[in-house]
Structure 1
Amino acid sequence: MELRHLVTFEKVAAVLSFTRAAAELKYAQSSVTGQIRSLETSLGVELFERLGSRIRLTEAGERLLPYARRIIELNEEARAAVAGAEEPAGTIAVGTMESLTSYRLPPLLELFHHRHPKVRLTLRPTLGDATRQALLDGTYDIGFLMERETEHPGLESEVLAPEPLVLVAGPGHPLAGRAGLTSADLAAAPLVGTEPGCPYRDLFEEELREWAPPFMEFGTIEATKKAVAGGLGLALLPRITVSEELASGALTALDWEVPFTLFTQIAWRRGKQLPGHVRLFVEQARRLVREQSGSPEA
């Protein structure tokens, strides 16, 4: 077995597409197909079932995958150890959600772009369940989560900061300025939200299920904010995402106590040996997010 064949196998297994794997590895598709066939020949088994335009791992492929990942990780660890003090280099696949990518991570992304140009960050937009599964599958190296729970099966996770939430409305909304709002007080108010699967939207919907009508879904945070500012309804959002609008008066915060707490976290697969450039990314994420949020060091 050649290492490059295992790298190609792991990528195809992660994305379940020869075409996408070729694009991410910067190979011709014929090279990816040839490497997989060479690996299958050397092992004497088929690793993928071809189902028309789709593929899936065979039982043999499922058994090989964790070994391939361990070999790749050990290779990266060995390179990092030998390189010693050389400039950090390598690729990091990062799973994250819109609110964190746009409002929490820019300082981290800028730091790596300017100080560590040989580290290539690949950001994958996914929500909690999908991010956790991709970490377990090895598709992502690192994941950022915004969750109520802080322990996740099969993952190492670290809380970076609590993530304050705020219920916002347009400045002319009838509930603006009212003190001590309860969940029942929101019964007649139209609600605006991001997509299902977003943790704060799902928890808000669950809290108001007894009283509230269905959400109007606007997908992105920016679209949701504009809908709220235009008087289409209320929305629960991370405070960091609406700080400018609250300061300018484009949105107003309602006096409703959020009955749950979410935490921004960084996570990776339990037992995974993080290469040096990934450990550096975790360290800088820990420092910068905590500085930004005002959270004390753990």
Structure 2
Amino acid sequence: MEIRTLKTFLTVAELGTVSQASRRLNCVQSNVTSRIKALEEELGIELFSRGRNGMTLTPAGTYFLDHAKAVVDAESAAIASLANFAGAVRLLRIGSMESTLAIRLPAFLSRFRATNPGVRLGLRSGPTDELVGLLLENRIDLALIGGQFRHPDLKSRIVFSEEMVLATEAGIQSPEQVGAMPLIVFKPGCSYRAYAQNWMRRSGFAPNDIIELGTLEGILGCVASGVGVTLLPRSVVEGSGHRDIVNLHQLGDQDRFIDTLAVRNAAAPENGAVDAFLDLVCGTRAASGGSLGRLLPA
């Protein structure tokens, strides 16, 4: 049973003739007649009495009328519920690297909720590779990931850039003292981990043991205790509670700036919440000068 057929039934019931119904529905009379006949055959009962002056509802047709209206009204309500969804702020599911979630996102989320009180927010943390998978499966709407990235099904926008630094215990005064100390990093798939391992090799410190931890606080706590060293964005370490008990060492590496990208699935339905959030982040970045690291065009 099709919605179109029910709409035809309701129109004929209202107007009383096939000719008038065909004009309102903008179709030929034979289509109206065939739809009504098909509906009666499907239901196994006559809905109209046919006469010279038109068509009138049978008792069965009268009984069926309210049910048909309810179905058509439900369809209209379902369509209306999504009206202007692309321009409305309704739901935003964000995936983020652990470091970005811990330091950058809280301020942005606070401002976003203040200006969009009706928003529903979902948050997930994970390494870049995991977040890309979630985007492709449409399980998140937006991912904040680090490093150069290209994928034919995703589109990205630079939101800020992070300066990578070497973080060590307070007693280490220069990178040369790192030697064979373990490297403490997030799990595989993290762009910062990849950079850290590459930098250690290029700097002649490899091979170093790898200590893999799942949280930013865990990594910095172990660094402060002298368990090992790490490479993380300057903003992340300076914004943490461990800043006063670790040393930061600036890198001479020309590639030490790593872009943070906002990435979305190009095939996903438009969601105004994503655009509203990006407008907030990029507007804040532009207004804050150098506080978000090296500024880059959106």
Same fold (TM over 0.5): yes
The one-letter code matched in structure 1 to 2:186 is: T
Alignment CA distance shift 1:108-1:256 (3 Å) = closer
Counterparts of 2:188 and 2:210 in 1: how far apart (Å)? 10
- Distance apart, 1:96 and its partner CA: 1.0
CA contact (8 A) 1:155 1:270 kept: yes
CA contact (8 A) 1:193 1:217 kept: yes
Does residue 239 in structure 1 map to residue 229 in structure 2? no
User: Which position in structure 2 is the counterpart of 1:264?
Assistant: 260
Q: SS in structure 1 opposite 2:171?
A: coil
Q: Deviations over 1:159-197 (max 9, x none)?
A: 111111110111112xx1x3xx57xx7442232222222
The one-letter code matched in structure 1 to 2:157 is: E
CA contact (8 A) 2:221 2:242 kept: no
User: Which position in structure 1 is the counterpart of 2:157?
Assistant: 158
User: Which position in structure 2 is the counterpart of 1:139?
Assistant: 139
1:196-275 equivalent positions in 2, closer than 5 A: 196-209=188-201, 211-244=206-239, 249-258=244-253, 260=255, 261-275=257-271
Q: SS in structure 2 opposite 1:231?
A: coil
Alignment CA distance shift 1:155-1:77 (3 Å) = farther
CA contact (8 A) 2:164 2:234 kept: yes
CA contact (8 A) 2:130 2:189 kept: no
CA contact (8 A) 1:169 1:251 kept: yes
Bigger-Rg structure (1/2): 2
Counterparts of 1:159 and 1:251 in 2: how far apart (Å)? 29
Counterparts of 1:159 and 1:91 in 2: how far apart (Å)? 22
The one-letter code matched in structure 1 to 2:98 is: E
The one-letter code matched in structure 2 to 1:166 is: V
- Distance apart, 1:246 and its partner CA: 9.7
Q: Where does structure 1 lack aligned partners over 5 or more consecutive residues? A: 3-74
Q: Where does structure 2 lack aligned partners over 5 or more consecutive residues? A: 3-78
1:79 to 77, 80, 83: 83
Counterparts of 2:239 and 2:127 in 1: how far apart (Å)? 24
Tell me the matched-pair count.
Answer: 215
The one-letter code matched in structure 2 to 1:79 is: A
- Distance apart, 1:224 and its partner CA: 0.9
- Distance apart, 1:253 and its partner CA: 1.5
Counterparts of 1:157 and 1:115 in 2: how far apart (Å)? 24
User: Which position in structure 1 is the counterpart of 2:276?
Assistant: 280
TM-score by length of 2: 0.63
- Distance apart, 1:247 and its partner CA: 9.5
Q: What percentage of residue pairs aligned between the two structures are identical?
A: 28
